Amino acid sequence: MKTILVFTFLLGLVCGKSFLWAQEMKFGKYTSEEFELTDVPFEPGSDAVVLAESNTSFFPNVQLHSEIHRRIKVLRESGKSHGDILLRYYEGQDGIEDIQRLRAQVVNMEDGIEKVTKLTKDDFFKVDAGDGYKEIRFTFPELKEGSIFEYSYTKIDKSILFIDGWVFQNDIPTLKSSYSLDIPEFLDYRTLGQGAKVITANYRQGPKGYYVWNLTDLRSVKAEPYMNHFADYLEKVQFQLAGYKSQSTNALGQTESGYEKMFSTWQELADFFKERKAFSSYTKPDKNTIKSLPITDNTGKTKAEILQQAYQYITTNLVHSGEGGIVPEQTLKEILANKKGSRAEINLTLMALLKASDIEAHPVFISSKGNGRSNLISFPFADQFNHLMLVASTDDKLYYIDACNPNRPLGFLPLDFHVNDGFLIMESESGLMPVALEHRSGITQYIDIKVSPDSGLLRAATLRLIDYDAVRYGDISKEESLESFKKEIITDPEEDVLAFNATIKEMGSRHTLETAISSKQPLALEDNLFIRPFSINRWTENPFTADARTFPVDFNYTLTDRYTANITIPEGYELDDYPENIALTIPDGTLSFSYQTIAMDQKVQVNLQFAVKQSFVAAENYPNLKYFMDILTSKLKEPLVLQRIQALTSADGVLP
């Protein structure tokens, strides 16, 4: 039976509708407001602004046509750099995308007259960007403060299963950004919006199948510290084909109409991937390939031990090519021979090995941080995923696994994989599952501080970095990793390190980096001794210096630090002064800090606790977070003061 998409009889209607919804912005027609604009009220001091941009998308045939038009004004001299334009598209081998009808011009108001300079074909340079991508590059001449330049083109896309849609924000502020999509009656798309303005907009104003967003006053997007990528927070909209009407001819030559659904359930989406040849070579390997898997004699071993052994084998014997992705290109047989592969291929190889060893394991697709989506869409939208990891189950525990880094222990994921949900792929019952990473990250520190007449201030510290705080330093048995760790821990150049012993220990399900450090520091022999209890700490400076923030702060994982210092007061001295006790939290409760000093005879104990209870802090809470960190870092610099209560002995320079 032959199935075709029915386009032709609807062609006229589709074209007609697109004209009904013509753009407001006409190429080459400028308003007096545009010439008069000198600043952006919601982002003063911007060097350029997108006055308006629009994307009018429709289907004149089986291809998607997007008429894109962007108009920019230079507000300050530095804004001229925005006149260098690069249009990138995927041509592939079959001309998947193409750009046509490109035109561009700049207008300058000179003595009240519009002086227009048009770019010609010779000004547009087409280059091969590799891997099937092409670029059209051009630059605008005669740019100066006040110049308005614009360009428009039609992008033609043969691939209509997923529609890229539109990102409403730019690296400069945008006054107006419009997107419309006119979907013919025989196609059915799901809409995937992100961002408050996109979601709350009244985008279904026209006839059925017509979507339009007219967003205004959109802030520029720029990277901020303590986040993965602003792409996760952009105002944008995408589409995925949900179904289409079809016609078929039956055996009697009669025409029958039908409706084909695309990925209406998570299981359908899972099956779509599983049925691909390379993918199925991992989920259902043939007997010969199974024989070539490195299965050892597991008699007497627990499932956890078998899992650990398989993980170790894969991480040390397969080389990660650096590529991510969710779809394998190599088959299981090929990667076992080649020993190098993408993340999907390596993790699926581990899955095949685990299954052959009777351990349940399944692929999980995720959208890692920075992939452009802060939360997964709750229906089967394939284009949102960019990495494949595994979930494996032993008798009592669920493991989330990425086997691409031999320095990362089993059960720990790259920090950008710390997401809320993933798409679990199974034979049946595939669907979204929470990615609940069980860990107890943090730093525990016990430190004994003594004053020695000969050596000054002596510190003996035991440091335990737990889980992700230990993992971040990698394999410290390697000299480079150890040195890097040491350099980060010992920050006071005055501190003379006498011993530094660091070892990785697995304590139950905890991965720890245990470090014993002894050090001495010169101490001036004066009436008052000033001692800072914690020379080793997570925060030597407040990392947050900007006074406002656009995007949430992302600590990547929750943690709890507990520091205890025991200071022995030397003979002839007493505790005179110490940092005042404090306990604070920021209003949303995501961070807390306490600092307490307890005096006991000739000893003083200082206890500090710091916790990040949620890895995200909302942008509106940023001022509180910044002040919180100012207080915390300041408190860590406050000293205890030991005061002399006996006069010096005759042996000047020696403590009695």
Among 101, 204, 261, 339, binds another protein (CB under 8 A): 339
CB of 611 to another protein, least distance (A): 21
CB of 568 to another protein, least distance (A): 19
78 is an interface residue for another protein by CB under 8 A: yes
Among 8, 81, 407, 452, binds another protein (CB under 8 A): 81
x/- site string to another protein, residues 515 to 544, per CB under 8 A? -------------x-x----------xx--
138 is an interface residue for another protein by CB under 8 A: yes
630 is an interface residue for another protein by CB under 8 A: yes
Calpha distance 420→437 (Å, rounded): 9
CB of 161 to another protein, least distance (A): 26
x/- site string to another protein, residues 288 to 327, per CB under 8 A? ------------------------------xx-x------
Please give the residues from 34 up to 63 whose contact with another protein meets the rule CB under 8 A. Answer: 43-47
Residue among 203 and 282 whose Cβ is closer to another protein:
282
CB of 511 to another protein, least distance (A): 26
Quick one: tokens of 404? Answer: 């691409």
546 is an interface residue for another protein by CB under 8 A: yes
Quick one: tokens of 25? Answer: 């912005």
Phi-psi bin for 233: left (phi > 0), alpha (psi -120 to 50), beta? alpha
The 3-state DSSP class for residue 29 equals coil
Quick one: tokens of 426? Answer: 């199974």
Calpha distance 526→516 (Å, rounded): 30
CB of 38 to another protein, least distance (A): 14
**Amino acid identity of 219?**
R
Among 93, 100, 120, 545, binds another protein (CB under 8 A): 545
Helix (H) or strand (E) holding 165: strand 162-167
Among 548, 651, 652, 653, binds another protein (CB under 8 A): 548
CB of 220 to another protein, least distance (A): 8
Task: Please give the sequence-ordered ranges of beta strands (E in DSSP) within 24-112, or none if there are none.
Answer: 48-58, 64-74, 84-90, 97-110
**Amino acid identity of 361?**
A
Range in contact with another protein (rule: CB under 8 A) among 139-147, 428-436, 441-449, 600-608: 139-147
Quick one: tokens of 467? Answer: 């889980």
144 is an interface residue for another protein by CB under 8 A: yes
CB of 210 to another protein, least distance (A): 37
Please give the residues from 493 up to 512 whose contact with another protein meets the rule CB under 8 A. Answer: 493-494
483 is an interface residue for another protein by CB under 8 A: no
Residue 182's Cβ-count burial label (10 Å; 0-12, 13-18, 19+) is buried
Q: Are 371 and 326 in contact (CB under 8 A)?
A: no
The residue behind tokens 């406002």 is 548
Range in contact with another protein (rule: CB under 8 A) among 87-95, 129-137, 299-307, 350-358: 129-137
576 is an interface residue for another protein by CB under 8 A: yes
Residue among 200 and 634 whose Cβ is closer to another protein:
634
Among 135, 360, 416, 475, binds another protein (CB under 8 A): 135
HSE of 387, CA atoms in CB hemisphere, 13 A: 28
Among 217, 329, 475, 495, binds another protein (CB under 8 A): 329
Exposure string for 419-454, b = 16+ CB within 10 A, e = fewer? bebbbbbbeeebbbeebebebebbbbbebbbbbeee
Paired with 457 in beta bridges are 451, 521
Residue among 230 and 400 whose Cβ is closer to another protein:
230
Among 8, 31, 115, 128, binds another protein (CB under 8 A): 128
Calpha distance 21→332 (Å, rounded): 51
Calpha distance 111→485 (Å, rounded): 65
341 is an interface residue for another protein by CB under 8 A: yes
**Amino acid identity of 68?**
I
CB of 637 to another protein, least distance (A): 5
CA-based R_g, the chain, Å:
32
Residue among 341 and 442 whose Cβ is closer to another protein:
341
Quick one: tokens of 138? Answer: 């051009």
419 is an interface residue for another protein by CB under 8 A: no
Calpha distance 278→327 (Å, rounded): 8
HSE of 197, CA atoms in CB hemisphere, 13 A: 19
Residue among 309 and 321 whose Cβ is closer to another protein:
321
Paired with 159 in beta bridges are none
Residue among 397 and 637 whose Cβ is closer to another protein:
637
Q: Are 193 and 220 in contact (CB under 8 A)?
A: no
- Closest to 561 measured CA to CA, from 522, 531, 534, 523: 534
Residues making contact with another protein (CB under 8 A):
43-47, 76-78, 80-81, 83-84, 125, 127-131, 135, 137-139, 141-144, 222, 318-319, 321, 329-330, 334-335, 337-341, 493-494, 528, 530, 541-542, 545-548, 576-580, 626-627, 630-631, 633-635, 637-641
